């Protein structure tokens, strides 16, 4: 049976006033401080909010690019402003050490009722190699009396460098037609001496990590968690050990806007790389999983309909069939998907995605329905995501442990 999910309320940390009387009750102060990220994964202030505690830490996962702070002051006349320690917009995703160290005003967010402040986190190449820290200062002031108070939130983003290192050095695979693609591959603990066979996850990235855009191949691992999250599960739980393959497209996974659904030479090379791993490594051929986001979501769909017998599950985020703007995809091999992947597909999207718009999601759902293919879907409502945009729905998509567990529960 088809399952549909909706996220009606933001998964945020909302902490109201809880007493603690040391200050004058009329002095400017916060009575609540809510924090939200696009992961919607239960992030919490440390320590829990108290009006008399002025300094906090918020720990977030490595693919978070902004935190929404929603402070509540003790009086309507009290003015609240937020500043950040560094300018997060001046950076390069390929050149190290390009962030500008200068204070900046944090803009009032343009979503969620314009009641919060968006603190940006750097996306620079170098920022992913450290435990990146951004400090936000919340100033609460009474313009009538001149009294003021400051609260700070030290936002600490995870450093996944040790986990990414387990994917090894960049390698190159050359397909039968001579197309060369770069890739990284992760093997679980004790793989070399183990007698077990392992599931395989093939993760296809989006347009922002293409080699043609000047991105080094390790940005496939840095900027999103679509590959590393499976490796993190593998490291933490022997029941979830898997081989994870993270290839890098030169230009695209799919051949232009081909309505028939044909892989490009890069997409075919990625599939042949997978076949090489299946042939040479300790693989459970009944547990081969395919995932992708945005351009990679479309690529994963086309790879699945091209070779449906290969995969035990398909998990796509911000994906489309045919074109992200005009639809299409009716000529895909839906019969093959029905035969091999019925009930094994999960589609995640955001209602207000500015790049892969809701009509593209609805078109994909229409095609699955029209061809009698059972699937899971989760459509996040408008306003759920805010940094960088709702197109980054995959941040929550891959952070959803239940979704990853569902994928791993399936076998051919």
pLDDT in tens, 382-412: 988 877 889 999 999 999 999 999 999 999 9
Give the total number of structural domains in the chain.
Answer: 2
Please say whether the beta carbons of 303 and 296 come within 8 A. Answer: no
Residue ending a domain, among 99, 133, 157, is 157
Q: Which domain holds residue 69?
A: 3-157
Are 258 and 281 part of one and the same domain?
A: yes
Are 194 and 144 part of one and the same domain?
A: no
Are 170 and 138 part of one and the same domain?
A: no
- Rounded (10°) angle between helices 295-306 and 334-341: 80
The residues that bridge with 345 in the sheet, in sequence order, are 314
CA separation for the pair 382, 13 (Å, rounded) = 19
Could you give the percent of the chain with pLDDT greater than 70?
Answer: 86
Neighbours of 81 (CB within 10 A): 15
CA separation for the pair 197, 312 (Å, rounded) = 15
Question: Would you state the pLDDT for residue 131?
Answer: 87
Are 203 and 126 part of one and the same domain?
A: no
Are 109 and 182 part of one and the same domain?
A: no
Q: How confident is the model at residue 166 (pLDDT cuts 50, 70, 90)?
A: very high
Residue ending a domain, among 114, 134, 157, is 157
Peptide bond into 291 cis (omega under 30): no
Please say whether the beta carbons of 201 and 188 come within 8 A. Answer: no
Helices (H), 154-245: 161-165, 219-222, 228-236
Please say whether the beta carbons of 86 and 97 come within 8 A. Answer: no
Are 328 and 213 part of one and the same domain?
A: yes
Residue 328 CA to chain centroid, in angstroms? 26
Please say whether the beta carbons of 243 and 228 come within 8 A. Answer: no
Reply yes or no on whether the pLDDT at 81 is more than 80. yes
Q: How confident is the model at residue 83 (pLDDT cuts 50, 70, 90)?
A: confident
What is the sign of the dihedral through the CA atoms of 183, 188, 194 and 200?
negative
Are 146 and 172 part of one and the same domain?
A: no
Q: How confident is the model at residue 104 (pLDDT cuts 50, 70, 90)?
A: low
Output the six-digit token pair for 325.
């703007």
Closest CA to 317 of 211, 407, 240, 191: 407
289-296 average pLDDT score: 97
| 337 backbone φψ class: left, alpha, beta (φ>0; ψ -120 to 50) | alpha
Report in angstroms the alpha-carbon separations of 146 from 9, 25, 140.
37, 15, 10
Closest CA to 52 of 25, 14, 82: 25
Closest CA to 237 of 199, 197, 285, 188: 188
Reply yes or no on whether the pLDDT at 88 is more than 60. no
Residue ending a domain, among 142, 157, 172, is 157
CA separation for the pair 281, 91 (Å, rounded) = 40
Are 390 and 378 part of one and the same domain?
A: yes
Are 148 and 169 part of one and the same domain?
A: no
CA separation for the pair 273, 277 (Å, rounded) = 6
Are 48 and 173 part of one and the same domain?
A: no
CA separation for the pair 68, 236 (Å, rounded) = 29
Are 203 and 319 part of one and the same domain?
A: yes
Are 183 and 131 part of one and the same domain?
A: no
Phi and psi, residue 227, nearest 5°:
-100, -45
CA separation for the pair 307, 323 (Å, rounded) = 20
Report in angstroms the alpha-carbon separations of 322 from 255, 260, 316.
11, 8, 15
CA separation for the pair 60, 128 (Å, rounded) = 13
Peptide bond into 388 cis (omega under 30): yes
Reply yes or no on whether the pLDDT at 120 is more than 90. no
The residues that bridge with 185 in the sheet, in sequence order, are 245
Q: What CATH number does residue 231 fall under?
A: 3.40.50.1820
Phi and psi, residue 294, nearest 5°:
55, -120
Q: How confident is the model at residue 15 (pLDDT cuts 50, 70, 90)?
A: very low
257-262 average pLDDT score: 72
Could you give the percent of the chain with pLDDT greater than 90?
Answer: 69
């Amino acid at each position: 049976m088809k399952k549909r999910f909706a996220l009606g309320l933001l998964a945020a940390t909302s902490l109201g006033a809880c007493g603690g009387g040391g200050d004058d009750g009329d002095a400017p102060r916060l009575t609540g401080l809510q924090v939200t990220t696009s992961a919607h994964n239960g992030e919490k202030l440390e320590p829990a909010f108290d009006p008399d505690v002025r300094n906090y830490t918020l720990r977030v996962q490595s693919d978070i690019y902004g935190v929404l702070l929603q402070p509540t002051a003790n009086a309507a006349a009290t003015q609240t402003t937020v500043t950040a320690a560094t300018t997060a917009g001046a950076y390069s995703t390929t050149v190290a050490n390009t962030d500008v160290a200068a204070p900046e005003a944090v803009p009032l967010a343009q979503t969620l009722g314009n009641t919060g402040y968006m603190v940006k986190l750097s996306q620079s190449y170098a920022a992913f190699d450290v435990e990146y820290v951004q400090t936000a200062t919340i100033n609460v002031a009474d313009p009538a009396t001149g009294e003021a108070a400051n609260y700070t939130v030290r936002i600490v983003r995870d450093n996944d460098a040790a986990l990414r290192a387990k994917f090894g050095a960049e390698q190159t695979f050359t397909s039968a037609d001579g197309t060369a693609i770069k890739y990284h591959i992760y093997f679980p603990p004790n793989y070399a001496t183990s007698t077990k066979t392992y599931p395989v996850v093939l993760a296809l990235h989006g347009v922002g990590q293409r080699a043609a855009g000047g991105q080094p191949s390790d940005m496939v691992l840095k900027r999103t968690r679509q590959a590393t999250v499976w490796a993190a599960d593998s490291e933490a739980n022997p029941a979830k050990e898997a081989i994870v393959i993270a290839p890098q497209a030169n230009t695209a996974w799919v051949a232009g806007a081909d309505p028939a659904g044909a892989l490009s030479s890069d997409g075919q090379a990625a599939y042949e790389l997978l076949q090489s791993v299946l042939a040479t490594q300790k693989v459970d051929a009944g547990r081969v999983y395919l995932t992708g986001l945005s351009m990679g979501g479309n690529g994963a769909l086309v790879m699945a309909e091209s070779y449906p017998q290969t995969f035990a599950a398909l998990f796509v985020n911000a994906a489309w069939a045919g074109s992200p703007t005009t639809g299409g995809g009716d000529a895909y091999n839906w019969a093959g998907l029905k035969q091999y992947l019925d009930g094994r597909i999960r589609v995640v999207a955001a209602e207000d995605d500015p790049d892969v718009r809701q009509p593209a999601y609805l078109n994909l759902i229409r095609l699955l329905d029209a061809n009698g293919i059972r699937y899971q879907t989760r459509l996040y409502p408008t306003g759920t995501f805010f940094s960088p945009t709702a197109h980054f729905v995959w941040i929550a998509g891959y952070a959803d442990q239940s979704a990853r567990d569902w994928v791993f529960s399936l076998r051919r």
